[in-house]
Amino acid sequence: MPEAPLVLNELGPFFYDEEDVGLAVLGDPIAHSISPQLHNAALRELSAKDESFKSWRYDKIEVSASQLAETLPRLAELGYRGINLTIPHKVEVLPLLTSVDEEALAMGAVNTLVWDDSGWTGRNTDGYGLEQGVHEDLGVRLEDSSILILGAGGAARAATAQCLLRGCETVWLGNRSLGRLAGVTEALGTVFESHRIRTFALSELPPEIEDLEDLLVINATSLGLREKDPSPLSLDGLPSDTKVYDMIYNPPETALLADARKAGMTCGNGLSMLVHQAARALEIWTGEHVSSQVMLREAKLAMEVAP
């Protein structure tokens, strides 16, 4: 079982040595997060080569939406220098930052904060994590694929922006709620040419999709997180060389991935994305190359004991 998270109200000045560096993931809920195992394993490896990393550590802290604004300056005072954000903070944090890089602005969301003495600055490593994960698990490059993304939440928006930034001509974006879909396309349309984003309702796959070549389907909905959840999309009629990636990694095989496997399609789950977004964040904070293999090994170990 992952360790229990730290709770904000009990957070004391536990960084006694000025050289200590704190990193943490903030979220609500956060108890399930395996990020500390991944990062602390990579920090152990870094400290074998450079002793200064022995004083670095990565925590998970339960922080609700209403606590975020007061928490960020407090963490800086306590010695935290890098923060990852997960549900529900990735969008709401934007006005609390002194700057946000171009990629994260295009995504409209931030998952990595860096302290630079003037305040917290924002980056987003989710799109990079997805790109690397898809390449590692499915052997495809985003820019060489016809992309179909399911969902219109923060993860779908980051994925769409990453594909468009990488030069994909068009991205097909499908969602259950059409109102939310329109909101996301409107927001992305302020950064990218709007004709590059084509939308559909999850219940009605447009017939043109069946004719697309090198199709990559990416699930960025949360449908599949529960064991008995149905698949968000029927794969019937899609070419048999379609590749399928599900951002969900727990459970390791969602109904979508089971359908893809039965149809003989190459598929992969979101563990590789989790690992690569984490490795990139640690590289940003440390300025060192971080081995994603160490993190992947730790993630697989953590998943063996995950509930």
**Catalytically active residues, by annotation:** 90
Closer residue to ligand NAP, CB minimum distance, 160 or 286: 160
User: C-beta of 228: minimal distance to ligand NAP in Å?
Assistant: 12
Using CB under 6 A, list all residues that contact ligand NAP: 87, 126, 129, 151-156, 175-177, 180, 202, 220-223, 225, 232, 247-249, 270, 273-274, 277
C-beta nearest to ligand NAP: residue:
153
Identify the DSSP state of 229. Answer: P
User: C-beta of 19: minimal distance to ligand NAP in Å?
Assistant: 31
Report the C-alpha gap between 270 and 246 in whole angstroms.
6
Least Cα distance to 146 among 100, 94, 210 occurs for 210
Report the C-alpha gap between 82 and 20 in whole angstroms.
12
User: C-beta of 275: minimal distance to ligand NAP in Å?
Assistant: 8
Closer residue to ligand NAP, CB minimum distance, 146 or 160: 160
Q: What is the dihedral of CA 4, 7, 11, 16, to 10 degrees?
A: 20
Report the C-alpha gap between 231 and 224 in whole angstroms.
7
Altogether, the residues listed in the chain come to a count of: 307
H-only helix segments in 5-153: 35-49, 68-78, 102-107, 126-138
Identify the DSSP state of 119. Answer: -
User: C-beta of 152: minimal distance to ligand NAP in Å?
Assistant: 4
Closer residue to ligand NAP, CB minimum distance, 81 or 280: 280
User: C-beta of 196: minimal distance to ligand NAP in Å?
Assistant: 20
Closer residue to ligand NAP, CB minimum distance, 154 or 251: 154
Joined tokens for residue 19: 């050289």
Closer residue to ligand NAP, CB minimum distance, 81 or 89: 89
Closer residue to ligand NAP, CB minimum distance, 32 or 54: 32
User: C-beta of 151: minimal distance to ligand NAP in Å?
Assistant: 4
Backbone angles phi, psi at 297, to 5 degrees: -60, -45
Pairing of strands 215-219, 146-150: parallel
Report the C-alpha gap between 84 and 106 in whole angstroms.
18
Say whether the peptide bond before residue 307 is cis (omega within 30 degrees of 0). Answer: no
